Amino acid sequence: MGVIFVTDLFSQEGVSRMIRDGVWKGATVQYADGAVCLRIREGASWLAVSTLIQSLGGDILQDFDRLRWGLIRFPEGTNIFATINELLQSPLVENAEPEMVGHIFFDPNDPYFAGTSPATYHYQWYLYNYGQSPPSGTAGADINIRRA
């Protein structure tokens, strides 16, 4: 749920958030400063949820959808991880996580895609065929996966 892409971060109208690094569930992640993705429990009172968010200094940036996920904004510099832990203590909250930053890559990190050795060249030539040998491919005879 909570992933934004670097290419879109500063193109959103009226939005400019600092990207921060932190440790989330044992892994180093990048996240948008002051943004928390929140999932409320089924049947949670809108007034109670709104009161909880306001009591922590936040406001609802994107309203809760049918799956009960919403985007909450906190003041810049808020310790998001401590705030998430506080939110998770509430019986109104099912899940909370930082708004993660995703990165777009043009090539998959699959060694069979680029063919790291002659033993792997032939496996995925149909994705990107630059005339590799083997299999004596024809450059461009592929599905243009990079452009997709």
CATH architecture for segment(s) 3-102: 2-Layer Sandwich (3.30)
Considering the chain, what is the average pLDDT of its residues? 82
Q: Is the pTM of this model over 0.75?
A: no
Tokens of 64: 């809760």
Domain spans in the chain, listed from the N-terminal domain onward: 3-102, 108-148
Residues contacting 56, CB < 8 A, separation 6+: 74, 83, 86, 87
pLDDT digits (tens, 9 = 90+) for 88-123: 999 999 999 999 988 777 777 777 776 666 666 666
**Looking at per-residue confidence, does 23 or 4 come out higher?**
23
Q: How far is CA 126 from the centre of its chain?
A: 29
Place 12 in a pLDDT band, splitting at 50, 70 and 90. very low
* Residue 131 clears pLDDT 80, i.e. is over it: no
Q: Is 15 exposed, middle or buried (0-12, 13-18, 19+ CB in 10 A)?
A: middle
Q: Give the three-state DSSP class for 29.
A: strand
Contact between 96 and 35 (Cβ < 8 Å):
no
